[in-house]
Chain A
């Protein structure tokens, strides 16, 4: 029984006025409020729980490994020419105090990149902020004036693209590390840890190139793909980025795991728990 006529002023005016018309606020519905309120009988809580545990484990491990392991327990982050990915590129001037891990100078880049990543945002908003915990599942009603990414601090998520640009710097050094590690003290070697370093940097590259911001910058921002030769080239690149982007979630998890495993193996090699099976010539 709703009449949906526009105000008469809108007639015959294709372009919008100087201030865009305000959208009306949605009238209140009948959704049950309260944390985890839902009629879903399925196990909706499994996914956020796995995500919360997975991220938690990685965060704890990476903090321990990058900040504490070497300064406190003297476990080196470099072994037999293999450098842990948490520390690349290694910047270590002599005046650094003993407790200051050089990883801090680097790690803020991938950390910022992943924190503002569109996939990770979805995952941690759901798993940690329960905002929402799962689709059509209730939330704690603590913030009735919801602003999220429209206000500080979360409005800063919009600088994701700058972390993307910066992320190519450590990425370059990680490729360099992987290649340099092929040769140690005049001997070529092809081994498990070396292969893992290549795999790791490949996954990290896949993660970076499947980024939503990259997809936008490389071509998605254009309205017309076939208007010029340049546009067509960017279209081809955008197509590839789209193909990678569909699996952004997988890239994110795979590269997260590969970084941690690479670091762990290098540490274990350093303290002699494992060796480095490799072909040497």
Chain B
């Protein structure tokens, strides 16, 4: 097979950078990262490349190959015309560290500002029941491997200065995975509007185009979030309706997917965050879920428990008192 001609970016901040030419022998099925490894092993041992799994599962090896943000571990050399040189450069939206490595720590700082998953306090986990269809959407977003290619390609982050922060596609779908979770209780719409800068996104879909996990970031994540933000802030009729009913809740309210507790048995407390007593003996743990599990021969329909999402205040916890009352009203089936 012919050699591939790679032009690889080399440089550090504050120093003149250059594209260095390397001729790499090609094997069948070779990907760009293989070529970079060959260069490390044979030509430039100090070439900085960030990578981990080489299986498109960890999202470490993002770079721009021929100007397109790509995972180098799944960009195959056979997809290119090997007579032409292939340029490899770092992700350009982030500050350079060295060669193909950039400083992506900003992304971690953004992630920390997102309110984490918050289940209802008064519903024991044993009663949680939801169907695959309820979590299909969330699971799509949770496929994200945090390669930050979407952040890199997003023109708002790449080409513009903004007055306020814009969290970028990765974190919009992270919020989407929480907002669409069937049992999460926090309303993050004000956060999305004010701190996340969702209005800066003009849905030009480059994030979706580069996503190596094929997540439909724009259609399934960002646009539904924009619609949810519109529900809360840009929909005069819904606003009037909320005023009329004297409630801060949005239209439909939210029902929780739960199973009623077995008759007469007070629900066991939800498994605490502190699991192991270092001196624990073999007795307790495995039994905790038994009562709920025992009650489920045929699948019982989930009981409706209605709570409301506070629209105006972020982090408005759903009215905590409602759920148990709803359960009693119905008489445990």
Are A and B subunits of one complex?
A: yes
Stretch at the interface among B35-43, B48-56, B198-206, B284-292: B198-206
CA distance A216 to B304 in the complex (A): 22
A126 within 8 A of B: yes
- Do A30 and B204 have beta carbons less than 8 Å apart? no
Size band of the A side of the interface? 35 or more
B window 113-158: CB within 8 A of A: 113, 115-116, 118, 130-131, 133-134, 152-153, 155-158
Does A161 contact B227, Cβ atoms closer than 8 Å? yes
Pick the contact of B133: A31, A126, A148, A235 (CB < 8 A).
Answer: A235
Instruction: Evaluate contact between A223 and B206: CB separation under 8 angstroms.
Output: no
Q: Decide if A131 touches B204 in the complex (CB within 8 Å).
A: yes
Residues of B within 8 A of A135 (CB): 68-69, 153, 206, 209-210
A22 to B110, CA, bound (A): 9
Residue of B nearest to A41 (CB): B66
**Interface check B159, CB cutoff 8 A:** yes
Closest residue of B by beta carbon distance from A130: B155
- A21, A26, A126, A144: which contacts B93 (Cβ < 8 A)? A26
Bound Cα distance A27, B94 (Å): 7
Q: Which of B133, B195, B210 contacts A21 (CB 8 A)?
A: B195
Query: CB of A84 within 8 A of chain B?
Result: no
Q: Is the CB of B227 within 8 A of A29?
A: no
Kindly provide the distance from the CB of A215 to the nearest chain B CB, expressed in whole angstroms: 8
Judge whether B32 is part of the interface by a CB distance below 8 angstroms: no
**B196 beta carbon closer than 8 Å to chain A:** yes
Residues on B with C-beta less than 8 A from A148 are: 156, 199-200, 202
CA A16 to CA B105, docked complex, whole Å: 22
The answer on a CB contact under 8 Å between A39 and B87 is: yes
Kindly state whether residue B58 has any CB partner on chain A within 8 Å: no
B47 within 8 A of A: no
> A147 to B200, Cβ gap below 8 A?
yes
> Among the interface residues B92, B134, B155, B210, which one has the most CB atoms of the partner chain A within 10 A?
B155
With A31-B159, A212-B227 in contact, do A122 and B182 touch (Cβ < 8 Å)? no
> Complex formed: what's the CA distance from A225 to B317 in Å?
21
> Interface digits, A1-38 against B, CB 8 Å rule (1 contact, 0 not)?
01010100010001111111111111111111100001
Contact B201 A149 (CB under 8 A): yes
If A20-B115, A22-B164, A122-B203 are given as contacts, then 10 extra A-B residue pairs at C-beta distance below 8 Å, sorted by A number, are: A21-B112, A22-B165, A26-B94, A29-B157, A41-B67, A121-B203, A125-B202, A145-B161, A159-B234, A216-B224
Mark B residues whose CB is within 8 Å of A. Answer: 64, 66-69, 84, 87, 89-96, 102-103, 105-106, 108-110, 112-113, 115-116, 118, 130-131, 133-134, 152-153, 155-168, 171, 179-184, 186, 188, 190-191, 194-206, 209-210, 218-219, 223-224, 226-231, 233-235, 250-252, 254-257, 302, 304, 313-315, 317
